[in-house]
Amino acid sequence: MNEQLSLVYLYGFSPLLESKLSTVKKIIENQLNLGAQITFIFIHDAVIGTSHKHSTSPLMKELLQLPLEFYSMIPDFKARGIDPEKLQPKIKGIDYEDLVNILATTSKIVSWM
């Protein structure tokens, strides 16, 4: 039986650092081609790019089209003075308890910070 690989990416770079987002997007696309199931969590400065308050780069739009589960940390939104209600439609806001639950049920965690 071929077990599907489950991964969580914790992504913390500012949306202004597009080279980081480009690199992680390429890696994720390769993993998706291998059948991986991927969850992508925006943390720290990365939450800025998930808000309607800020413009969305073409690269971020491409990432959001991938078949991933997307989450963004509500406490990180609040710490940056951003209204968590302004999330992009494909991204769900989560708190620390949700984050722990996601990480506890995932076989691999990738920190991209």
Residue 53 and residue 85 in contact, taking contact as beta carbons nearer than 8 Å: no
Tens digit of pLDDT for each residue in 18-41?
A: 999 999 999 999 999 999 999 999
pLDDT reported for residue 86: 85
pLDDT band at 52 (very low <50, low <70, confident <90, very high): confident
Residue with tokens 């971020």: 60
CATH number at residue 29: 3.40.1260.10
Answer whether residue 16 is part of any domain: yes
Own/partner pairs, 75-84, CB within 8 angstroms, 24+ separation: 76/42, 76/43, 76/44, 76/47, 77/47, 77/51, 80/45, 80/47, 80/48, 82/47, 82/48, 82/51, 82/53, 83/51, 83/53
In a domain, 103, yes or no: yes
pLDDT classification of 1: cutoffs 50, 70, 90: very low
Binned at pLDDT 50, 70 and 90, residue 64 comes out as very high
Burial of 76 (0-12, 13-18, 19+ CB in 10 A): buried
Assigned domain for 1 exists:
no
Structural domains in the chain (count): 1
Q: Is 35 helix (H, G, I), strand (E, B) or coil?
A: coil
Place 2 in a pLDDT band, splitting at 50, 70 and 90: very low
Longest dimension (CA), the chain: 48
Owning domain of residue 28: 6-112
